[in-house]
Chain A
């Protein structure tokens, strides 16, 4: 079956532009996570959705970052007025269950954002 997909795979933005990154989770997966992976680092948690509810946004680095999942499936991460420090790979992951446990998170290929 289809895995987690993300689009675009690559995005180049000029500083100050707004960008929108899309995540299509595996069908039926309740949980959806966004992570930010800077060059040479491990992924860092940004935000979590359980169906359409955003239950944790503690990792969002500033109020320029906004995420939504209005129908409990596709999610969009929006970054307003992009800055150079926003350059990173943005990973989306989904999971079957509404809680953590040992259940696997399935990752998408990521969107590589470069802010010039």
Chain B
């Protein structure tokens, strides 16, 4: 069945970078866009960006454009989200979700930023 398996929790210091992976299983990797979404504990969902595993297109939310990089590895059916210059406000659960409509989600990756 369709699964998105994300990498494990991360603890980072302010100013560092984090790279979260999302491995696609059970479907054609290049056939569906992947969204990245984050959720600060106790708050709502925030859309971060979208990548087309079957092409070159990526779109990142304007407020994150200078700090987020979305990449892919077709050979391993994996997409990556790298967030640089981390601050405490970036402490959140990060999710990947499949397709335009987000019909399947990863389990989430907690990223904690603390000195």
Are A and B bound to each other? no
CB within 8 Å of A: which residues of B?
none
CB within 8 Å of B: which residues of A?
none
